[in-house]
Structure 1
Amino acid sequence: MDGTGVVIAGAAITRHGFFPARDWKDLVVESAFSALQDACLDAGDITDGFVSVSLPETFEQQNLGAVTADELGLAPMAFSQVNAACAGGTVALRSAVAALASGMARAVLVIGVEKVSDAASTADSMLHFPDAEFEAPAGFDYVDLMALMHDQYMRKYGATHEAIAQWVVQDRWYATRNPNAVDYGRPELTVPQVLNGPMVSRPITRAACGRACDGSSAVVLMRRDDAPGACEPVEIAGIAQATGPNVLATKFGHPASAGADIAEAVPTAVAAKAAYAQAGIEPQHVGLAQVHDCFSVMGALHLEGLGIFPTGKAAAAVADGETTLEGRCPANTDGGRIGLGHPTGATGISVAVESALQLRGRCGERQVQDPDVAVCQSMGGSNATSAVAVLRRPR
């Protein structure tokens, strides 16, 4: 195959941070109308919509599709809520692409939002991602599962603490050059600072954790031939989603995971293979990647799942500078979940926004030199869901 026929006509992202005085609807309005303006469209041009949110309970609100449509003045059009943990934004993108490709929609607004500052406890709000029957009763929370992945990756492939910590240093470097990032304007980090910080769940330190925060991102999708001539379209060349074993026992070489274990991003590899086939490309064609790095080691796992680096080699490649602006495949140029911030429902949209802006050449100090093909990936749960999109400049 050679593409979906769908483009991102407009893209926008809000400042990420902690805004207790702002309502989640404020964030949605800001990102949505900024994306519409970027697409050279009015709200009346939209025919369908999706909103991704991971933690609607923090809003004390459900049925966010209808509420969002009403807030934006888009009722009575079809507007749906999507929830797939931290992968929800990219899953919503996939649904929008399908609606456009089928002819059921003409212009789709896809929004992601989270308002973590409204949660009584950020940690408590995310404890429901592990399996409620087989993982949570054993005392595992989300961070503990990521610590198991981190430890297994080092044991299996010989990766060093220093190499994995370099991912955090890189995220901060990019974030200090991104005005929308939580870490914008903060000092750059060193590897010793990352490794010597407070321990969260061994071997993960506080600096190696994604920054749960408030924020919203939005894109407007259209069929290629329908996009306004004045916009800067970016093609969604391929998009796919896959799920992996969710129960902890299946993540250590169990036959249900085809012998793979927790140190390998199995659903990312499955989704990437399908997305690449749809786009008609191979991993070596990718010149820019945005991956889900809710914790430092996940950057390496997903780069390997995407086929950008061989299994077990990504952490060393990052330490060698392969993902810097001058490297072979710059990665997480927005600062990632660690430096930009991680408003969970919005993250799957924000990776697409950053990719689109990079392909347009609009990222200032962190701009990659002349990128042509970008891949963006988001994960829900502990490798339970992964969604991958291939973006490229129109040919």
Structure 2
Amino acid sequence: MSEDIYIVGIDMINFGRFPHKTPGQLGAQAALAALDEAEVGIRDIQAVFSGSNYTTMIGQKVLQEIGQTGVQIINLVNACSTGASAIRMGHVSMKAGEFDTVLCVGVEQMTGLGMLGAAAAGPIPTEGLLGSASMPAVFGESGMEYAAKTGATQTDFALVSVKNHHNATMNPKAFLRKETPLEMVLEAEEIAYPLTKLMCSINVDGAAAAVLMTESKVKERGLMDRAIRIRGSAMASAPWGEHDPILHDVNTPTQIAARKAYEMAGVGPDDIDLVELHDCFASVELQHYENLGLCGEGEGVRMIRDGETELGARIPVNVSGGLLSKGHPIAATGIANMYELVLHLRGQAGERQVKDAKFGMAHVVGLGTSAAVHILEKP
């Protein structure tokens, strides 16, 4: 029978703008912090699973900074789910019995990149013919489709930004640590209706890393006091739909991955104490309440209006500030979401601590498309 897998060291750098550092240096900073917390050195690492969307061979570049030991390095590109994919690959390889200690790293340097998903130069593009390919437009469109079904308003979406920006004021590693009252969010520059600028995630540089160990190795090293069990790990892509290839399906991959993760973990939505989900744009957070089973279909609007996802309420969501405030360095986000969960499960989240947290859920979606859901447990 395969062993349970634990996170024993995890960290992220303060997300921000670092034009004078290389992606390898950013990743090395996060990796060293994770290694230190796990009380291991680079020679204890048997494999590296790493990812970046804008830097090739990122794992090798990180190890050039902290120690090249000849181990296997797998580099991943999976859009916004890249970091979570690295954790997933590490988890699977350890479940197979090949390794007992691995390092997972996600790195992105996005300073100066501009808007994600902009149309590329070349022959006649699909942009404008089939609909916008830019991410604000994709999620604005998705938000309007959701609004038509549920009665959600622009104000409902703006409430997500108000909540998440407030949470970030308690997170020293978040990029934007500023209260944004509802009026400020609604009056901000319109990017793609119903999304204003303060309803969009922030392009930043960032890195996050985690050390995974098998249960026997954790016990051998005496690290159970800090170890967090990975109870569920699942990924999915979008099945073919009539909207393809014009409209991305931002919902179905999450629904599939969530069902798999719950089944693997042997728990349900009512067992989850906090969630870090992919709020790349405010409109989609309400959809993911439903996609992750936190409420019934069409009830996401009620959840945000009733404050059910605020800190101290029934199911706190994005207590870190989420991508809207923490920032969204694409490949680092999946591991950074797990870092937030680990803090709460260990009781180390300070003034934003979710009381008595035992189960946490991390979620990311990469378009086009890949969704990852992980359920972590305080053992």
- 1:257 paired residue number: none
- 1:48 paired residue number: 47
Amino acid at match of 1:223: T
Deviation digits for residues 103-144 of structure 1, max 9, x if unmatched? Answer: 111211001111111x4x32156657xxx9866753512221
SS in 2 for 1:163: helix
Q: Structure 2 matches for 1:187-336, cutoff 5 A? A: 188-227=179-218, 228-230=221-223, 232-245=226-239, 249-250=243-244, 265-336=251-322
Deviation digits for residues 154-207 of structure 1, max 9, x if unmatched? Answer: 1111112222111101111111110000113x3x11111111111001111000
- The 2-side partners of 1:209 and 1:248 are apart by 27
Aligned Cα RMSD in Å? 2.3
Q: Structure 2 matches for 1:1-150, cutoff 5 A? A: 5-56=4-55, 62-117=56-111, 119=112, 121-123=113-115, 138-140=130-132, 141-150=134-143
> Normalization by structure 1: what TM-score?
0.89
Amino acid at match of 1:122: G
Assess, with a 3 A threshold, how the Cα gap between structure 1 residues 262 and 19 changes in structure 2: closer, same or farther: closer
Deviation, structure 1 residue 225: 1.8
In 2, are the aligned partners of 1:4 and 1:278 still within 8 Å (CA)?
A: no
Assess, with a 3 A threshold, how the Cα gap between structure 1 residues 248 and 92 changes in structure 2: closer, same or farther: farther
SS in 1 for 2:356: coil
Deviation, structure 1 residue 299: 1.1
Greater displacement, 157-166 / 107-116: 157-166
- 1:390 paired residue number: 375
What count of residue pairs does the alignment treat as equivalent? 372
> Normalization by structure 2: what TM-score?
0.92
- The 2-side partners of 1:267 and 1:148 are apart by 18
Deviation, structure 1 residue 262: 6.8
Deviation, structure 1 residue 245: 4.6
SS in 2 for 1:386: strand
- 1:337 paired residue number: 323
SS in 2 for 1:218: strand
Deviation digits for residues 240-262 of structure 1, max 9, x if unmatched? Answer: 0000157882389xxxxxxxx97
- 1:59 paired residue number: none
Deviation, structure 1 residue 357: 1.1
The reply on whether 1:176 has 2:169 as its aligned counterpart is: yes
Deviation digits for residues 200-249 of structure 1, max 9, x if unmatched? Answer: 01111000000010111110011112113145000000100000157882
Assess, with a 3 A threshold, how the Cα gap between structure 1 residues 127 and 362 changes in structure 2: closer, same or farther: farther
Assess, with a 3 A threshold, how the Cα gap between structure 1 residues 264 and 180 changes in structure 2: closer, same or farther: closer
Assess, with a 3 A threshold, how the Cα gap between structure 1 residues 68 and 135 changes in structure 2: closer, same or farther: same
In 1, are the aligned partners of 2:156 and 2:304 still within 8 Å (CA)?
A: yes
In 1, are the aligned partners of 2:84 and 2:372 still within 8 Å (CA)?
A: yes
Amino acid at match of 1:197: A
SS in 1 for 2:174: coil
Deviation, structure 1 residue 75: 3.3
Amino acid at match of 2:60: A
- The 2-side partners of 1:77 and 1:126 are apart by 37
Unaligned 5+ segments in structure 1 are 57-61, 253-260
Amino acid at match of 2:140: A
- The 2-side partners of 1:243 and 1:110 are apart by 22
Assess, with a 3 A threshold, how the Cα gap between structure 1 residues 172 and 101 changes in structure 2: closer, same or farther: same
Amino acid at match of 2:102: V
- 2:150 paired residue number: 157
Assess, with a 3 A threshold, how the Cα gap between structure 1 residues 238 and 31 changes in structure 2: closer, same or farther: same
